[in-house]
A and B are shown apart, each in its own frame.
Chain A
Amino acid sequence: MPDATFLDSTELVLNMGPQHPSTHGVLRVILKLDGEKVLGADCVIGYLHRGVEKIAENRTFAQFNPYVDRMDYVAAISNGLGYCLAVEKVMNVEAPPRAQTVRVILTELNRIASHLLWLGTHALDIGAITPVFYCLREREEALKIFEKYCGARLTTHAFRIGGLLYETYDGFEKDIRDFCTMFLPKVDEYEELLTNNRIWVSRLKDVGILSAEECKEFGVTGPVLRAAGVKWDLRKAQPYSGYEKYDFEIPTRQNGDTYDRYVVRMQEMRQSVRIMQQAVDSLAEGPIMGKVGKVIKPPVGEAYVSIEAPKGELGYYVVCDGATQPYRVRVRPPSFVNLQALDRMIRGGLVADVVAVIGTLDIVLGEVDR
């Protein structure tokens, strides 16, 4: 880190968090300041460490399934999908088409719910109080669908290895269609509130720039990477769960600043609605559970499956030694990898920008610490 330059001041070390509300959980950032300018930042993580990967080694494959929901609890369904796909790959089974379509619908709905929570809290960090109420209002509709489908709102445990346990409820398709038609005007409403708002624009433009090269160096994925102009989306690059059937675009922007990441996420919500509409239309009758026995005992082997979670590439690496319990489960969480770019993004910025940059990274500390 460079030394302080402002007059004769020495640099000031400021401790931000772990209880600071803008750190979105229990992140502790040690800031090195030169007056108002940030010289560097160190992240201290681990306050929410529960040893989920170690827990996996003491649980059967089916028993570990509820725990993955508790990593990224804002997008629990994406976590469940990643884990189920990884175990299914080791077992060499595939979920039936109907199960895949329902999985896509719920995962995209979860992406919208995750982005809505991000938008609300990010706007709240910047100082716009109103959007959070509207965002949570629409998120509630999505959570109601989750509750009706699988009985829980947040830590859903919606998918099982090999397919689905729950058949869709009566009126599921109508609920999804109603949500899609209801939701698109609401996105316009958020954009009306924020996109052209001068305070919003001046707080976000050219703040926390991360270029495409730096993104690749850090291994940053998700909307942060796409805002830097890299057209990389695992739903297109390595389609899973039948994503190749749906027609959607990968929104990208060029500057890679905080404002671009906001625009990319807003467009992603619209694309998710598009995918959901297509998936609901193609929802065909059929079985929902693949050929999986009551006791899940995969053969010796290993598999890595990565999916496009709302926050970026979410990978599950499962090693099996032929027992009913995994030998090792390694999670590649998007928030953890994205968080390491924080120092680069806020260097040279102001203290107030730190809040904006932490918000725009869309981290969930449950996933960072695991």
Chain B
Amino acid sequence: MSYRGWSSRSSKSGLTPLRVIRNSRSRPQFVIDEADRMRGIHVVAGSGSGKSLLIGGNIAFGDFMRHTPQVLFDPVGSMIDAFLMRIASVPNPTQDEFCSRILYVDMSARGAHLVPFPLLYELGGETRHDVAERFLATCLAIDPQLQSASIQGWNALQRTGLPVGIILASLGLQLDSAMDLLRRPEAWTPRLNEAVVRHPDAAPAVAFIRDEYIPATPSRRAELTASYRAKVEPFTLDPTMRAMFCSTPSGVDWHRVMADRLTVLLDFRGETNPGKRLFKTRAAFDYVREFVRHRGPGAHLPLALHIDELTELTNAQSLDQSLFARDLDYLLNVLMRGFSCPVTVAHQSMHQVAESTQRTLMSMGTHVIGVTTDVESAEFLARHVVQFDPQRVKRWERVWASESKPAIGFGPAYTNHFVIDKREVNWPLDEQLYVAARALRNLRPFEYLIKPKGRSTLVHASIKRHVGNPWPTDHADLLTDLRDRLARQACSAVVQIGPPAPVPSVTLKDSDAHHDPRDDDDQLDPLYWRS
């Protein structure tokens, strides 16, 4: 496939090299090469500086043209719009081919189409414990206060959540069945036996329900499950959450994403509920991270990850916590570099994140800095990306000497002043910092100062000619139509939102061992999503 000079020949890494036009009238293009991509791109620029256009229109579209599988996290939608604007600008036969490589996920699930993100999922080879622990880890990430609550906190959540999750995962069920298991554990006895038969490693979890939970008094049961109920109740009470997070199979099949080199657009703009938005953002992020981790280290085909508005991945409470910094550090310093997952991270100001997170972000390979109005942020960035020279000459001063002349004849004695040398005056580091910070604040929109990896000087670059024509904001209707089309394409079946189905009673037979209930149409949950 070739479009306007984008070639389709594959490089040794399996990615398509780009062909960019270079003539005498155009300025040279600034390119971040493949090796530097693996060190990450950190974009920090204020609102209105065009960072979403930069990531969506240039970096993500460039990855798309290179046939790099990628995921775009966009809490506000502007990065995805910039990406789709580039797609919409392509002539139609090529546009259809491009659209077939895009998986658009409207995370608000407000439309008729919904892409499931089951919370109990298998990537292959992991234990039921691993499967069950993921949801609890997501809960901890969005609510780090759980760790400090000793009674109804993380310990209580794990004590109940792990056994319930293991049993549900063993039975091929999702979290919408958890409340039924906790309310009527006696009715689940046959299914508990089935879980052990299917997966013997579920026996300790079944033993907890059978030996501790069922004999307990109602008050003791409530005490045991209070924390966990609070976390899983949304999946029973909210039909949209249930449809999205309790339907199987997953709408984002990572093996297909990698094989077909898809671009996954995770669009959170429609989700206005802060709590749901935070959970969905974090759950999707964990979903991607788990897949990258599951692939293991090595020279895989890269899976690029672009995150706009990084701070949306966490809440205000956890900003100052080390948990988010630890997660980010793991993503950037372990997964990105060792697991072939080049990451692009964008946010508005350095002071949106805690000090530990700042250090992690500044350890990334390439820094792209746009205009900012935040003085402190500009000074912080200047201190980190500009190389100051203590010997930098500010001005030259003349060195004077004088010579006394005696009176000659009737004339008076006088002193003659003259220059004997010149002396350099160095620029104080504080002043250099001030000037550098002012340069960052005086940048124009769509202009960036780029600190490439391994270079001491900055590169001044502009994206205006790349992304300015046409502007995404001028074609809102066109983009809405394209998003609708992609959303329809992503779902081959409309998920029906309705009440949860009662758990069917089953009679365990020998032939049912290792039997997947998803294979039987009559046992399908009405929310079951079939591709």
**Chain A complexes with chain B:** no
Interface residues of B (CB under 8 A from A): none
Interface residues of A (CB under 8 A from B): none
